[in-house]
């Protein structure tokens, strides 16, 4: 087994890849960051400011593959003999290929469900008897966060992955599943909504009479020095490497963030040694994390740091689709009518609405499905789901105070696209609190994640420095495409 493998892999899939000229053992079908992690290699790319970075926090991961630059290393599946080299962000000026795109395909359905987590699955199951559905999921699997957790969840009687498999095996022929497919936005087209989606290099125009946004939540980014150093893991990435790929994030890990209980059971299950560090100040090391120092000066010798904090709704898909936001439960949520609609024809369900247990998100998916059935004139009982859902109060996120005086803000990354906290703080301190202007001046929320991860901390900073309440800040609306896409896929002559 490789140094960080937790499980035996299929020996018939064993291959050799070369990273920076050296051979490493990998398995067919693995993604590059996972194969390198299993071999103990964390540093995969270098930012514009020369900062070493891995694949498990945020920011792009351009690599050179068999001499070809600008390959997205995050999604790259390894093949035997593949030669991969590190690349700097600075060289990552994607040559804009406008020609050579394929003709778009078109798919007409009654309902487009964006997001194949437990909420999206619930919505598809509810309507499938009478309506056709396109279930669109960016990842290679259905089940969202639940699929990469192994600890049983309240409301379901089996372990998460089995629940997902059982529910998705109940899909009938009316449900067309698009995995590895990213929705770029929602546009009005007469009595239909156009949802352009991309699978590989293929653009598919999904025409749907109703849309369900079940786009889930994102992990809150915890700010400390070198919070994007190779070896720092966002919680969803840590869960993915452990439970999907059978690889440990490290041999001895530090757990930071306000919700260590989200990862501890998984670490204990696999016998991964850990230490909980509630007040991290700085991660350090050569080519990867070697130690974590806390605010009291304690030094922890660890080889990985897992950030286990709160989740907050991903506001980009909903604001692009036309939702207004309100600040509730300590985060921004979409404003909905009494039927979970952000406007006519567009519904929201699951963690995209508020943070709740998986079972409640599943019920909410079923609830919006029932509302849609009723709109199409079929018998449905949304009240049953609504009543059950009322038993679940959404999770509140306590307000967090950024320790601005105690850290070297230049070393704290607020946004994966090389925007450090000092840069944003300098603008805020100069008296500018309008996030639209902060965005333009600092580049915050203008790069790869388009603010999904960084905007909240930007808002928190502006609020903390100026005393402006979070609900009085003007949060920028996301523009399409809400996810990155190659120009040639969407360009048309």
Residues of span 346-375 touching ligand ATP by CB under 6 A: 350-351, 358, 361
Candidates 145, 212, 318, 368; binder of ligand ATP (CB under 6 A) is: 145
Q: Which two tokens stand for residue 32?
A: 């590059």
Candidates 30, 137, 303, 418; binder of ligand ATP (CB under 6 A) is: 137
| Contact between 125 and ligand ATP per CB under 6 A | no
| Contact between 397 and ligand ATP per CB under 6 A | no
| Residue 388, phi-psi category: left (phi > 0), alpha (psi -120 to 50), beta (remainder) | alpha
Asked whether the beta carbons of 411 and 226 are under 8 A apart, the reply is: yes
* Per-position x/- string for 216-235, each x denoting binding to ligand ATP as judged by CB under 6 A, each - no binding: xx------------------
Q: Return the range that interacts with ligand ATP (CB under 6 A); candidates 42-50, 118-126, 283-291, 416-424.
A: 118-126
**Closest separation in Å from C-beta 122 to ligand ATP:** 8
**Closest separation in Å from C-beta 344 to ligand ATP:** 21
**Closest separation in Å from C-beta 317 to ligand ATP:** 6
| Contact between 320 and ligand ATP per CB under 6 A | no
* Per-position x/- string for 60-89, each x denoting binding to ligand ATP as judged by CB under 6 A, each - no binding: ------------------------------
Q: Which is nearer to ligand ATP, 280 or 365 (CB)?
A: 365
Q: Return the range that interacts with ligand ATP (CB under 6 A); candidates 211-219, 369-377, 426-434, 441-449.
A: 211-219
**Closest separation in Å from C-beta 234 to ligand ATP:** 13
| Contact between 31 and ligand ATP per CB under 6 A | no
| Contact between 452 and ligand ATP per CB under 6 A | no
| Contact between 138 and ligand ATP per CB under 6 A | yes
| Contact between 483 and ligand ATP per CB under 6 A | yes
Q: Which is nearer to ligand ATP, 106 or 251 (CB)?
A: 106
| Contact between 118 and ligand ATP per CB under 6 A | yes
Candidates 101, 115, 285, 451; binder of ligand ATP (CB under 6 A) is: 115
For residue 183, give the nearest of 107, 131, 239 by alpha carbon.
107
Residues in the interface with ligand ATP (CB under 6 A) total: 27
Residues of span 332-351 touching ligand ATP by CB under 6 A: 350-351
How crowded is residue 271: how many other Cβ atoms within 10 Å of its Cβ? 8
Residues 6+ apart with CB under 8 A from 345: 193, 209, 210, 211
| Contact between 119 and ligand ATP per CB under 6 A | yes
Cα(23)–Cα(33) distance, integer angstroms: 15
| Contact between 116 and ligand ATP per CB under 6 A | yes
Task: Tell me the sheet residues that pair with 333.
Answer: 326
Q: Which two tokens stand for residue 361?
A: 């998100």
| Contact between 183 and ligand ATP per CB under 6 A | yes
Q: Return the range that interacts with ligand ATP (CB under 6 A); candidates 56-64, 133-141, 392-400, 454-462.
A: 133-141
Q: Which two tokens stand for residue 221?
A: 């980014």
Q: Which is nearer to ligand ATP, 70 or 484 (CB)?
A: 484
Q: Return the range that interacts with ligand ATP (CB under 6 A); candidates 9-17, 112-120, 254-262, 467-475.
A: 112-120
Cα(116)–Cα(315) distance, integer angstroms: 17
Q: Return the range that interacts with ligand ATP (CB under 6 A); candidates 3-11, 77-85, 143-151, 200-208.
A: 143-151
**Closest separation in Å from C-beta 459 to ligand ATP:** 21
| Contact between 123 and ligand ATP per CB under 6 A | no
**Closest separation in Å from C-beta 358 to ligand ATP:** 4
| Contact between 449 and ligand ATP per CB under 6 A | no
**Residue ranges that bind ligand ATP, judged by CB under 6 A:** 114-120, 136-139, 144-146, 182-183, 214-217, 317, 350-351, 358, 361, 482-483
């Amino acid at each position: 087994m490789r140094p960080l493998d937790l499980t035996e892999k299929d020996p018939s899939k064993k291959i050799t890849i070369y990273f920076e000229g050296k051979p490493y053992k990998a398995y067919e079908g693995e993604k590059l960051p996972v194969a390198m992690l299993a071999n103990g290699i964390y540093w995969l790319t270098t930012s514009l400011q020369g900062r070493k970075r891995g694949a498990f926090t945020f920011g792009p991961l351009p690599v050179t593959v068999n001499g070809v630059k600008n390959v997205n290393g995050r999604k790259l599946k390894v093949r035997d003999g593949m030669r991969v080299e590190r690349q700097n962000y600075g060289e990552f000026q994607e040559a804009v290929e406008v020609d050579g795109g394929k003709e778009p395909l078109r798919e007409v359905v009654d309902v487009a469900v964006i997001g194949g987590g437990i909420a999206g699955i619930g919505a598809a199951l509810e309507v499938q008897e009478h309506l056709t559905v396109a279930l669109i999921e960016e990842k290679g699997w259905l089940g969202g966060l639940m699929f990469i957790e192994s600890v049983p969840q309240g409301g379901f009687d089996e372990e998460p992955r089995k629940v997902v498999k059982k529910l998705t095996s109940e899909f009938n022929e009316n449900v067309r599943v698009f995995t590895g497919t990213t929705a770029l936005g929602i546009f009005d087209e007469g009595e239909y909504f156009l949802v352009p989606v991309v699978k590989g290099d293929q653009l598919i125009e999904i025409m749907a009479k109703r849309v369900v946004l079940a786009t889930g939540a994102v992990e809150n980014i915890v700010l400390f020095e070198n919070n994007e150093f190779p070896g720092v893991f966002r919680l969803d990435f840590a869960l993915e490497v452990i439970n999907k790929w059978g690889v440990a994030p490290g041999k001895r890990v530090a757990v930071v963030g306000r919700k260590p209980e989200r990862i501890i059971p998984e670490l204990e299950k696999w016998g991964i040694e850990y230490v909980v560090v509630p007040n991290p100040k700085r991660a350090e090391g050569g080519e990867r994390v070697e130690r974590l120092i806390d605010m009291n000066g304690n030094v922890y010798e660890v080889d990985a740091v897992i950030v286990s904090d709160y989740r907050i709704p991903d506001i980009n898909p909903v604001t692009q689709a036309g939702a207004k936001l309100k600040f509730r439960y300590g985060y921004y949520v979409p404003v909905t009518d009494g039927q979970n609609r952000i406007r006519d024809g567009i519904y929201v369900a699951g963690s995209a609405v508020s943070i709740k247990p998986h079972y409640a998100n599943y019920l909410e998916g079923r609830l919006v499905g029932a509302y849609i059935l009723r709109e199409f004139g079929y018998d449905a009982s949304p009240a049953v789901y609504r009543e059950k859902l009322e038993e679940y109060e959404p999770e509140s996120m306590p307000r967090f105070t950024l320790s601005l005086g105690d850290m070297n803000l230049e070393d704290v990354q607020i946004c994966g696209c090389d925007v450090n906290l000092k840069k944003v703080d300098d603008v805020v301190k100069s008296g500018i609190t309008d996030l639209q202007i902060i965005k333009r001046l600092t580049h915050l929320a203008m790069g790869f994640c388009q603010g999904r991860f960084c905007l909240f901390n930007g808002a928190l900073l502006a609020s903390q420095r100026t005393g402006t309440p979070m609900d009085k800040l003007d949060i920028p609306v996301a523009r399409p495409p809400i996810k990155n896409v190659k120009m040639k896929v969407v360009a048309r002559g």
